């Protein structure tokens, strides 16, 4: 075909304006009589002599984009026959490229957190659909009104599809500034690789520096297996310690220490007060002897990056929300809820628990915030909640406690679960009574409206 | 056009019946049987007679190495298989032998080459179990699509010119796409003796319009088949492997 230019028509798509693009394809604003949304056409450069990976990348993107849906990806419209006229037509996403924001880095903490939550939410949705992006970088993220939208799936991997790029693993595929260590070693299966890239982006947005530079060789990219980047607070002392801790956890080389899923990352960004700060930087034996020892003890590269987080993700829920009513003290039902929670947490060693109890407030009467002796009811309930959860023996990294005041307990629980990407809710149900059936119970409403699994605990025979 | 591809029935009546029940429900445009009707299993007569009926109704069928061994007196098989094929021979009548004798090694139709083991010297029963074997198979054929069985492990190979083929184990019941500009080798899982760790019977549903192939899985009463194998005094491993899919 002739070189596309403004005004060219391809299968009914009229090219209206050329957009900036990389070396693999040209990008065009376009319109089509059958579609009333603004469109983009991506036309791969398939000149003779062009690297075969350009074609493969085009095929990968077509295969994957077709199967994706939701607000965090551009809508797939059509594709041209590869043999005749290859192109990908998709929705034009209005918004600001994250690359623009990155140019103005360092950004204020609130802005970094807002962007982190937006991209994390997009990644959670992508990973839920079985896709790992594997080339997350500012140029591939648009911040739109509907949230972060991820672009360019030319290096991506779909769990249900053949990995056409997998055979090229001699050379790391990705962008040197953001590529995850396991990806450098040729592993293209782990959603945690996207969380590493997101860590690089957050580091860059917060400090104005890229954590690993832009190495041009495989050896240069492998440096990130052995060297942690400069602490963010050494670059900008006004960065909060909790943000440094969150980003450091994204950038863990060992995937057993990295976030296993985006949901927990989002939770931490939303609840900085719950982030556990490292007590000290991992101390390493100093001196020549220590350095010599490290030189000879050097573990294999594969051991450094650990095992894929997939097994952990499959084993059980990442974030469990357990709700308990302690207004009547430690009832048998509260004990049964605790036992069920313990069983759920046991499925997955890196799972994480949010304990929630609701302080009912009254719309009509004035709510009492203190008991007859003037002690805070809120604090009393928090103490009771911690005491209730104590037999779980969870380290502070694995649990948080929340007393929430609300008129409707069910609404409060549902809101909390939705907002924090909870995977599994544990809730108790009292024995059935005519009145409860008539009014509807808290657990009934939570079961009916939650977007995740719910375990309802009931005392047998009660 | 939708084609149900059945391979490696291996005289397993329970598995074949369960698969054919689903195939009937799916009503494909064509049925292709990729050989190894007999061997290992306890019901060779049933397998041959059932396939003969399908063929008279328009199905295609090619020869497998166990079929060849059953109709001849050559024994180039592993010890377990040899013992089973000697027993199989005692069960077959002239009609059964005649049916097996008439089976071709390879058929090319619907833009696809159908062969039991590999298009590369079909009579040598190569195993298409890695990219190199897939390359040999592709190089020996002029078709863009080759369908075989023989390994008892569902696999699809994607081959792009000048590149090593991509080996892909499709997820059960999820359509794997067949891609433009690629040639493909589809290795169908086994009806009668799966070896991919899943004991459920396997067959492939090929959709030429949609350009996809789906490995369908059908659980069947493998304990009944294993009990028959035990009763007949065949190697106990032949029964056990049906229960664990190895």
Question: What percent of chain A is modeled with pLDDT above 90?
Answer: 63
- Predicted pLDDT of residue A438: 64
In the structure encoding, which two tokens stand for residue A46, read together? 């398939």
Give A166's contacts in chain B (Cβ within 8 Å). 166
Mean pLDDT, residues A227-231: 93
**pLDDT surpassing 50 at residue A123:** yes
Instruction: Decide if A162 touches B, using CB distance below 8 A.
Output: yes
Between residues 350 and 409 of chain A, which touch chain B (CB distance below 8 Å)?
Answer: none
Mean pLDDT, residues B106-119: 98
Give A167's contacts in chain B (Cβ within 8 Å). 131, 163-166
Host H or E run for residue B191:
none
Give A164's contacts in chain B (Cβ within 8 Å). 158, 160, 166, 179
Coil, helix or strand at residue B196: coil
The owner of tokens 């207004």 is: A327
Interface test with B, best of A88, A162, A163 (most B CBs within 10 A): A162
In the structure encoding, which two tokens stand for residue B190, read together? 């086994």
**pLDDT surpassing 60 at residue A322:** yes
Query: In this predicted model, what pLDDT tens digit does every residue of B58-81 receive, in sequence order?
Result: 999 999 999 999 998 777 788 888
Chain A closest CA to B106's CA: distance in Å? 27
Residue A201: band (very low, low, confident or very high) from pLDDT cuts 50, 70, 90: very high
Mean pLDDT of chain A: 89
Mean pLDDT, residues A3-28: 87
- Predicted pLDDT of residue A422: 93
Query: For B213, which residue in chain A has the nearest alpha carbon?
Result: A161
Closest Cβ–Cβ partner in A52, A82, A163 for B180 = A82
Mean pLDDT, residues B44-61: 98
Strands of A141-144's sheet in order across: A96-97, A141-144, A147-150
Comparison of pLDDT for A364 and B18, the residue scoring more: B18
Mean pLDDT, residues B177-203: 96
A52 vs B162: CB contact, 8 Å cut-off? yes
- Predicted pLDDT of residue A434: 64
Give B176's contacts in chain A (Cβ within 8 Å). 160-162
Strand partners, A370: A376
**HEC sequence for chain A:** CCCCCCCCEECCEEEEEEECCCCCEEEEEEEECCEEEEEEEEEECCCCCCCHHHHHHHHHHHHHHHHCCCCCCCCEEEECCCCCCCCEEEECCCCEEHHHHHHCCCCCHHHHHHHHHHHHHHHHHHHHCCEECCCCCHHHEEEECCEEEECCCCCCEECCCCCCCHHHCCCCCCCCCCCCHHHHCCCCCCCHHHHHHHHHHHHHHHHCCCCCCCCCCHHHHHHHHCCCCCCHHHHCCCCCHHHHHHHHHHCCCCCCCCCCCHHHHHHHHHCHHHCCCCCCCCCCCCHHHHHHHHHHHCCCHHHHHCCCCHHHHHHCCCEEEEECCCCCCCCHHHHHHHHHHHHHHHCCCCCEEEEEEEEECCCCCCCCCECCCCCEHHHHHHHHHHHHHHHHCCCHHHEEEEEEEECCHHHHHHHHHHHCCCCEEEEECCCCCHHHHHHCCHHHHHHHHCCCEEEEECCCCC
Residue A138: band (very low, low, confident or very high) from pLDDT cuts 50, 70, 90: very high
B174 vs A160: CB contact, 8 Å cut-off? yes
Least confident range of A205-209, A266-270, A279-283, B111-115 = A279-283
Give B162's contacts in chain A (Cβ within 8 Å). 52
**pLDDT surpassing 50 at residue A326:** yes
Coil, helix or strand at residue B216: strand
Mean pLDDT of chain B: 96
ipTM confidence:
0.86
Residue A283: band (very low, low, confident or very high) from pLDDT cuts 50, 70, 90: very low
Host H or E run for residue B30:
strand B30-33
d(Cα B66, Cα B40) in Å, to the nearest integer? Answer: 9
Question: What percent of chain B is modeled with pLDDT above 70?
Answer: 100
In the structure encoding, which two tokens stand for residue A149, read together? 């939208």
Query: For B156, which residue in chain A has the nearest alpha carbon?
Result: A162
d(Cα A353, Cα B243) in Å, to the nearest integer? Answer: 40
A164 vs B160: CB contact, 8 Å cut-off? yes
Query: For B173, which residue in chain A has the nearest alpha carbon?
Result: A160
Chain A closest CA to B38's CA: distance in Å? 32
Query: In this predicted model, what pLDDT tens digit does every residue of A145-172 receive, in sequence order?
Result: 999 999 999 999 999 999 998 866 567 8
- Predicted pLDDT of residue B32: 98
Residue A432: band (very low, low, confident or very high) from pLDDT cuts 50, 70, 90: low
Mean pLDDT, residues A177-191: 94
- Predicted pLDDT of residue A208: 96
d(Cα B115, Cα A42) in Å, to the nearest integer? Answer: 40
B166 vs A83: CB contact, 8 Å cut-off? no
Terminal Cα distance for chain B, rounded: 32
**pLDDT surpassing 90 at residue B172:** yes
Comparison of pLDDT for A67 and A50, the residue scoring more: A67
Q: Where is mean pLDDT largest: A19-33, A46-60, A362-376, A402-416? A: A402-416
Q: What is the DSSP string of B97-150?
A: HHHHHT--SEEEETTEEEESS-SSSGGG-----SHHHHHHHHHT--SSEEEE-S
Closest Cβ–Cβ partner in B160, B165, B179 for A52 = B160
In the structure encoding, which two tokens stand for residue A329, read together? 């003290």
Query: For A81, which residue in chain B has the nearest alpha carbon?
Result: B180
Mean pLDDT, residues B88-92: 95
Query: For A86, which residue in chain B has the nearest alpha carbon?
Result: B180
Chain B closest CA to A157's CA: distance in Å? 13
**pLDDT surpassing 80 at residue A371:** no
Chain A closest CA to B86's CA: distance in Å? 41
Mean pLDDT, residues A83-92: 88
**pLDDT surpassing 70 at residue B104:** yes
**pLDDT surpassing 80 at residue B180:** yes
Instruction: Decide if A54 touches B, using CB distance below 8 A.
Output: no
Least confident range of A295-304, A393-402, A441-450 = A295-304
| Cα radius of gyration (chain A) | 26
- Residue from A183, A449, A416 nearest A320 by CA: A416
Least confident range of A422-436, B58-72, B160-174 = A422-436
């Amino acid at each position: 075909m002739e070189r596309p230019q403004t005004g060219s028509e391809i299968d009914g798509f009229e090219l209206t304006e050329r957009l900036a693009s990389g070396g693999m394809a040209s990008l065009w604003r376009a319109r089509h009589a059958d579609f009333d949304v603004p469109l983009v056409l991506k036309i791969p450069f398939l000149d003779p002599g062009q690297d075969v990976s350009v074609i493969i990348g085009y095929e990968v993107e077509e295969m994957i984009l077709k199967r994706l849906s939701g607000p965090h990806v551009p809508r797939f419209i059509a594709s041209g026959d590869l043999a005749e006229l290859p192109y990908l037509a998709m929705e034009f996403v209005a918004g600001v490229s994250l690359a623009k924001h990155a140019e103005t880095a360092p950004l204020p903490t609130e802005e970094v957190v807002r962007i982190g939550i937006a991209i994390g939410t997009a990644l959670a949705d992508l990973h839920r659909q079985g896709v790992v992006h594997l080339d997350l970088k500012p140029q591939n993220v648009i911040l739109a009104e509907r949230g972060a939208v991820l672009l360019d799936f030319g290096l991506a991997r779909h769990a249900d599809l053949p990995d056409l790029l997998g055979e090229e693993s001699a050379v790391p595929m990705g962008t040197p500034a953001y590529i995850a260590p396991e990806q450098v070693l040729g592993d293209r299966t782990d959603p945690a690789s996207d969380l590493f890239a997101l860590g690089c982006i957050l580091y860059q947005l917060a400090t104005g520096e890229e954590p690993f530079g832009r190495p041009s060789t495989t050896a240069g990219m492998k440096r990130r297996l052995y060297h942690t980047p400069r602490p963010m607070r050494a670059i900008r002392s006004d960065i909060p310690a909790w943000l440094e801790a969150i980003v450091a956890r994204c950038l863990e080389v060992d995937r057993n220490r990295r976030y296993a899923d985006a949901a927990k990352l989002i939770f931490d960004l939303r609840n900085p007060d719950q982030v556990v700060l490292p007590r000290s930087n991992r101390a390493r034996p100093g001196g020549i002897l220590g350095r010599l020892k490290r030189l000879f003890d050097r573990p294999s590269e594969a051991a450094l990056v650990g095992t894929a987080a997939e097994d952990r993700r499959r084993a059980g829920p990442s974030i469990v929300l357990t709700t308990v009513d302690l207004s009547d003290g430690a009832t048998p039902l509260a004990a049964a809820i605790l036992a069920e929670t313990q069983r759920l947490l046991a499925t997955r060693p890196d799972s994480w628990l949010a304990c929630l109890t609701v302080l009912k407030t009254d719309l009509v009467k004035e709510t009492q915030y203190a008991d007859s002796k003037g002690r805070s009811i809120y604090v009393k309930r928090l103490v009771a909640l911690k005491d209730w959860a104590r037999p779980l023996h969870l380290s502070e990294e694995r649990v948080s406690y929340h007393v929430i005041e609300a008129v409707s307990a069910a609404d409060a629980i549902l809101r909390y679960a939705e907002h924090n990407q909870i995977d599994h809710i544990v809730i108790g149900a009292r024995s059935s009574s005519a009145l409860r059936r008539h009014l509807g119970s808290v657990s009934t409403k939570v079961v009916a409206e939650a977007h995740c699994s719910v375990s309802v605990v009931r005392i047998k025979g009660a | 056009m939708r084609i149900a591809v059945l391979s490696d029935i291996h005289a397993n009546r329970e598995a074949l019946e369960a698969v054919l029940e689903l195939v009937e429900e799916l009503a494909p445009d064509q049925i292709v049987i990729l050989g190894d009707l007999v061997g290992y299993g306890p019901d060779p007569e049933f397998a041959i007679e059932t396939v003969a009926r399908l063929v008279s109704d328009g199905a295609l069928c090619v020869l497998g190495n166990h079929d060849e061994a059953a109709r001849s007196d050559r024994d180039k098989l592993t010890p377990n298989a040899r013992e089973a094929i000697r027993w199989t021979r005692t069960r077959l009548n002239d009609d059964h032998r005649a049916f097996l004798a008439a089976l071709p090694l390879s058929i090319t139709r619907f833009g696809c080459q159908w062969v039991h083991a590999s298009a590369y010297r079909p009579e040598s029963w190569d195993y298409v179990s890695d990219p190199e074997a897939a390359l040999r198979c592709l190089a020996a054929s002029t078709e863009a699509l080759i369908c075989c069985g023989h390994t008892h492990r569902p696999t699809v190979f994607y081959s792009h010119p000048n590149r090593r083929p991509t080996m892909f184990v499709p997820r059960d019941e999820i359509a794997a796409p067949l891609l433009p500009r690629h040639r493909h080798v589809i290795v169908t899982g086994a009806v009668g003796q799966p070896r991919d760790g899943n004991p459920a019977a396997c067959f492939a549903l090929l959709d030429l319009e949609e350009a996809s192939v789906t490995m369908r899985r059908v659980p069947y009463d493998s304990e009944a088949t294993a009990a028959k194998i035990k009763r007949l005094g065949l190697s106990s491993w032949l029964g056990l492997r049906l229960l664990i899919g190895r």
